[in-house]
Amino acid sequence: MFRSHTNGELRLANVGQEVTLCGWVQKMRDKGGMIWVDLRDRYGITQLMLEEGKTDANTLQIARSLGREFVVQAKGVVVERLSKNDKIATGDIEIKVSSVEILNPAKLPPFLIEDETDGGDDVRMKYRYLDLRRNPVRNSLQLRHRMAREVRNYLDSLEFIEVETPVLIKSTPEGARDFVVPSRMNPGEFYALPQSPQTFKQLLMVSGFDRYYQIVKCFRDEDLRADRQPEFTQIDCEMAFVQQEDVLNVFEGLIKHLFKTVKNIEVGEVSRMTYAHAMKYYGSDKPDIRFGMKFVELKGEERDLTSGKDFQVFDASNLVVGINVKGASEYTRKQIDELTDFVKRPQIGAKGLVNVKYNLDGTIKSSVDKFYTEEDLKAWVAAFESEPGDLMLILSGDGDKVRKQLNELRLELGNRLGLRNPDEYSVHWVVDFPLLEYGEEENRWFAMHHPFTSPKPEDIDAMMSGDLGKVRANAYDLVVNGVEVGGGSIRIFQKDLQSKMFEVLGFTPEEAKAQFGFLLDAFEYGAPPHGGLAFGFDRLCSLFGGTESIRDFIAFPKNNAGRDVMIDSPSPLAAAQLDELKIKSTL
C-alpha cells in the first residue's frame, strides 16, 4: 500500500492519526524555517508541514529538493491547522511530516498546471497528459463519466439492452466519407469504420431486441471544422413497435433525467415545433427559443407591405423579413453599422440591413424613409407588434437564404442583449423534416437524414408520384439552447418502400442490392415497425459542461488536421506492413 488516505479525505476527526499520502507537488513555501507543501491528487489537496529543528535534517533536505509536479510519498501525523483554509475540504488540518520519499522527480512542466494556465493550444495538445492534470479538464471528463452512467441508468430502467455492434463493417457510398481498413486476409478488400451503427440497430429490431442502445464510437472522414472530430461518440438508440410520439416521450424523458440527476435542473415541458415553423419564424432547424424575436414577414406568401414604392431592393426580393429588437431604438449609428457589417460578412452574405426605429416619443425613423411614408412604416410597426423604444431590423432576398442570414443576426442580438443565458435551458423537438433535399451541384436528391428514414404515411403518394420536395419525414431533432443534440426518425420497415427510397436516391436495383441487400432481405423475414435516434454525446457533455468546445470532453482529441500531436499519429508504415496488406502509396 503506497498510501493510507487520498489527499481529499482527511478532516479534524483524523487529528492524531499516522498517515501516508501520495501525490504531486502543487506548490511549496519555505519561509522562516517552516516548509509547507501542497500535495495534490484527483481527490484534493492536503498541506504537508515540516519545521526546522523539529523535522529531521535528512527529511528537510529531501523536502527542499522538491519541485513542482514531483511525485512524492509523505508519512506523518495529522494535526490541526492554526490558520484554516476554507477553500479546500482538508483545510482544517495539515500533516506534520516525519518522512518524505521522492517516487519520481519531474521536469518543469511546459505550462502551469493550474485552473488558469499559461499554455497555448498547441503545447497543451502535445502534452495532453499534463493538461489533463488541470482541474477544469479532469472535471469535464468526470462529468462525461457521470453522464454516461446516468444515460445507462435511465435506459436500463426502461429495459433497453446495450448491444455492441461491429467496428469493422462495410463501406457505403451514401453519406459522409468513410475511414477504411485494408483486409490482409482478404487482399484487395477493405472494411470501413461505422459512421453510425444504423443498419445494425435496425437488424437488432428485426431480431426482436425491442429496445436497443449503445454508447458507441463513430467515425467520419470529413474535413475538420473547429468543433468536429474524426472519431466521436453517439448515444445510439432504437425501439420496435413505436410511433414517433413513443420515441419522443422516451427520449425527452432521458434528457430530463440527465438534467435532474447531473445538474439538478427540472426541465419543464418539452415542446414540439415543425421544421416548417422553425424555418419560417427562426430561419433555423435548431432555433434557440430561450428568447423571442421571432421573424416577421413584411413581404412573403401571406402579405406584401413593401412593394410598389420604388425601393428596388425589396421589390426584387421574394421575401422581406425582420425581427423586432425590444428597447433598442436608441442604438447609435455605430451600433447599427456594426450589425450591418455583421450581416455583410462573407460567411453570412447579406447585401445590407434596413432598420426602423420606433422611438420612445412615438416617431418612426428608418433607413428607407426615402421610399416609405410614415403611414407605410406604421403598417410595418403593426406587423412587428413593435412598441415605442423598439428597433426593427429587416433583411430581404431569396426565401430560405435570407432566413438563414436573419437567423445569424437574431442569435447575434441574443448574445449582445444577454438573452442566451448559459444557466437557463430550453429543450424542444423539431419535427416533420423534409425527407429529401435537392443537391443543386450534383443534380439529384439526397436523404436529409439518411436513406432509412420513413416518409410520413400521408406523403407517400407524393413520393410515389415524384413530387419529392413535398415529402415530409417522420424525423425529429432534439434541440437544447439552439444546439442540435440528437436526432432520429421512424424507419422504413417494408422492403418495397425501402427499394423505392433507394431508387429515388439514384441507386440502381443492383447497387441497392450490393450495398444493402442484407437489410432488404431482412425486411422480408418479419421486420417490425421501428424507430430511434442518436445523441451526439461529446456535444451533449459540452453543453452540460457549459462550454462551446467539445475538445475538453474528449480525453485525447485530434487537431484540425486529424492529427494526434501527442503520439504523432497518423504516421508512415513500414514497407513490410504495406506489402502484407497488398497496397502501396501512390504519392
Binding-site positions for L-aspartate: 174, 220, 449, 491
Residue from 79, 163, 267, 520 binding its own copies (CB under 8 A): 163
Which x/- pattern, by CB under 8 A, does the window 481-520 give for its own copies? ------------xx----------------------xx--
CB of 61 to its own copies, least distance (A): 20
Q: Which of residues 35-64 bind its own copies (CB under 8 A)?
A: 40-43
Spell out the residues 6+ positions from residue 249 whose beta carbon is closer than 8 angstroms to its own. none
Among positions 537-556, residues that touch its own copies (CB under 8 A) are 554-556
Q: Give the one residue of 209, 342, 445, 446 binding its own copies; rule: CB under 8 A.
A: 209
Report CA-CA distances (Å) from 416 to 43, 283, 427, 500: 39, 19, 22, 48
The nearest distance, CB 26 to its own copies, in angstroms, is 11
| φ, ψ for residue 562, nearest 5 deg | 75, 15
438 lines the binding site for its own copies (CB under 8 A): no
Answer yes or no whether residue 399 interacts with its own copies by CB under 8 A. Answer: no
The conformational region for residue 314 under phi > 0 = left, psi -120 to 50 = alpha, else beta, is alpha
Phi, psi values for residue 284, rounded to 5°: -150, 145
234: how many CB neighbours lie within 10 A of its CB?
Answer: 23
Closest distance of CB 581 from its own copies, Å: 7
The answer to whether residues 449 and 319 touch, using CB atoms and an 8 Å cutoff, is no
Least distance in Å: CB of 301 to its own copies?
A: 36
- Residue 573 is given by DSSP the state P
Q: Is 142 a residue that touches its own copies (CB under 8 A)?
A: yes
Contact 351, 344 (CB under 8 A): yes
Q: Please say which residue, 192 or 409, places its beta carbon nearer to its own copies.
A: 192
Q: Determine if the peptide bond prior to 105 is cis (ω within 30°).
A: no
Q: Which stretch binds its own copies (CB under 8 A): 84-92, 116-124, 195-203, 387-395?
A: 195-203
Candidate list 122, 338, 524, 548; residue touching its own copies; CB under 8 A: 524
Q: How many Å apart are CA 188 and CA 580, to the nearest integer?
A: 11
Amino acid at site 436: L
Q: Which of 203, 258, 343, 402 binds its own copies (CB under 8 A)?
A: 203
Candidates 28-36, 225-233, 259-267, 356-364: pick the segment binding its own copies (CB under 8 A): 225-233
Nearer to its own copies, 11 or 149 (CB): 149
- Among 284-292, 377-385, 460-468, 578-586, which window interacts with its own copies (CB under 8 A)? 578-586
Q: How many residues does the chain have?
A: 587
Q: Residue 227 interacts with its own copies (CB under 8 A)?
A: no
Q: Which of 227, 226, 213, 173 is nearest to 195 (CA)?
A: 173
Site for its own copies in 103-122 (CB under 8 A): 103-107, 109
User: How many Å separate Cα 136 from the centre of its chain?
Assistant: 18
CB of 426 to its own copies, least distance (A): 28
State the minimum distance, in angstroms, from the CB of residue 254 to its own copies: 17
Is 154 among the residues that bind its own copies (CB under 8 A)?
Answer: no
User: Is 79 near its own copies (CB under 8 A)?
Assistant: no
Among 37, 60, 195, 200, binds its own copies (CB under 8 A): 200
Q: In whole angstroms, how close is the CB of 33 to its own copies at the nearest point?
A: 27
- Alpha carbons 476 and 250: distance in angstroms, whole number: 13
Q: What 8-state DSSP symbol labels residue 504?
A: H
# of chain residues touching its own copies (CB under 8 A): 125
Residues 373 and 368: their CA atoms lie apart, in Å, by 9
Q: CB-wise, 181 or 383, nearer to its own copies?
A: 181
Handedness of CA 200, 206, 207, 211 (dihedral sign): positive
Quote the crossing angle between the two packed helices 198-206 and 509-522, to the nearest 10°. 40
| Interface with its own copies, residue 145, by CB under 8 A | yes
* 248 touches its own copies by CB under 8 A: no
Give the span between the Cα atoms of 106 and 104, in whole angstroms. Answer: 7
Nearer Cβ to its own copies (333/584): 584
**Residues contributing to the annotated binding site:** 174, 220-222, 229, 449, 484, 491, 536-539
Q: Which residue has the cell 489527499?
A: 7
Are 485 and 425 in contact by the 8 Å Cβ rule? The answer is no
| CA angle (402 as vertex; 401, 405 as ends), nearest 5 | 95
Which range binds its own copies by CB under 8 A, 50-58, 146-154, 281-289, 402-410?
Answer: 146-154
